[in-house]
Chain A
Amino acid sequence: MTDTNDPDVTIDSKDASCPGPLMDLIGKVKNLDSGTVVELQTTERNSTTDVPEWLEEAGHDLLEIEERDEYWSIYLEVN
């Protein structure tokens, strides 16, 4: 099982405004190799549904969504 405690890449999109956490993620993911584990940090509740939806469309794997005190950590693996 992939270890989400030690992601390869962390994207800090907390309090991101325009164009938002999912666009931040897409901008980074395209340059990453298959197998890379990414943690997307977001304060937007919508990201917890938008991101999994996009991951499914784009064929990447959602590993875990962890709710922290002030933000969510969305872990994924690039395919």
Chain B
Amino acid sequence: MHRIAIVGGGTGGTVLANRLASELQSEIEAGDVEVRLITADPNHVYKPTFLYVPFGKKTVDDAKRPIEELVDRRVTLTIEEVTGVDTDRNRLSFADRTTSLHYDQLVLATGANLEPEAVPGLAEGGHHFYGPDGAERLRDELADFTEGHLVLSVVGVPHMCPAAPVEFPLMVDAWLRERGRREDVEITYTYPINRAHGLESVADWATDLFEERDITLETFFNVDEVDPDAEVIETVEGNELEYDLLVAIPPHRGSDLVTDAGLGDDGWVDVDRHTLEATAAEDVYAIGDIADVPTSKAGSVAHYEAGVVADRIASRARGTVPTATYDGKTVCFLEAGMDEATFIEFSYGEEPYVREPSKPLHWAKLGYNESYWLTARGLL
């Protein structure tokens, strides 16, 4: 039997498992192929939902569904934590049992982890909306925030969803205006490089909107530490910024599993950017946030990568030559307030065009967030 193991039950892992169940349907039913999805979390979490939690527009429960409801019945689902990858012997080991699992092809889709404690004082002094607990705490803080200096600071690089830091200040600006509090709140956005975003077109778009909406832009701003008592941010560049409410994009890290397996020095898997095959081992792929490719850590990337890897793995399982490749396709919606949005799409080496924000695109973003569950099922 040809065994395909997928580690991680987020967007990449779930879409891939379902695509393979469809592509290899007859081989699985004949007992020639097994597609096994292994995840420590019995729930599938759709992280973009968390952006709306601080504003009371979504709840953290909206972000999750039991993974067993999302995967095809032909997929073997294992709820367990993988603790080791032996790429020489093609074996996985697990947290709570002594047995191991052989694979013929392995896909790592373990995602990114938040690590606010990597910056001194940040966990104590800062809020974030990148996970359920942080988003709920920020919601409670924002509900009582009537005056002062709100700072949105991009601290962690790389981080998930490079659009979200730009969206948050535009959304909080509109949200505060709706509540008559905007005049008493100063908003500042900080970014590590010499413009408002890594993508020039997004930077230009955001800079104009920030100016129009009285949001202060600070560039070349790399946070060194936060003093939670004094409520001051200190930067690598030697500057200080006082805040009353700090919303940070926290540092992210990959996985010790990756480093221990020798698949990437800093926790992200080194891959060929087109085939998504690990550079350090045979029979191993990586998709989604854990794969070190020169585009966004975003759900759309994981989704498109899953389609490519499904084709490559299915080809190999059938004994044919894989030809599908990933061209860096990325699609991101961008909220420009509480009731208008735009979207961008691009591939490797391309600069996107930012369309004029509109209400229909905001509705499209909200609509997609609901129909995302069809994406997870491999249908959309």
Contacts and interface: CB of A to CB of B under 8 A. Distances in A.
Interface residues of A, number: 26
Contact of B294 (A16, A26, A53): A16
A43 B220 contact: no
A12 B348 CA distance: 13
Contacts of B377: none
B360 interface: no
A26 B162 contact: no
B137 to A, nearest CB: 26
B194 A20 contact: no
Interface stretch (B23-31, B180-188, B197-205): B197-205
Interface string B340-363: 000000111111100000000000
Interface residues of B, number: 29
B134 interface: no
Contacts of A20: 198-199
Contacts of B328: 15, 17
B199 A17 contact: yes
Contacts of B350: 17
Given A17-B199, A17-B295, A19-B198, A27 B157 contact: yes
Contacts of A12: 294
A27 B158 contact: yes
Q: Could you say which of A24, A43, A46, A57 has the most chain B C-beta atoms within 10 Å of its C-beta?
A: A57
A30 B158 CA distance: 11
Given A18-B346, A26-B157, 14 more contacts: A12-B294, A15-B348, A17-B296, A17-B328, A17-B348, A17-B349, A19-B158, A19-B162, A20-B198, A20-B199, A26-B193, A30-B157, A53-B194, A59-B236
25 contacts: A14-B349, A15-B294, A16-B349, A17-B328, A17-B330, A17-B347, A17-B349, A17-B350, A17-B352, A18-B162, A18-B199, A18-B202, A18-B346, A19-B197, A19-B296, A20-B199, A23-B158, A23-B192, A26-B157, A26-B192, A26-B222, A31-B266, A43-B349, A54-B194, A57-B237
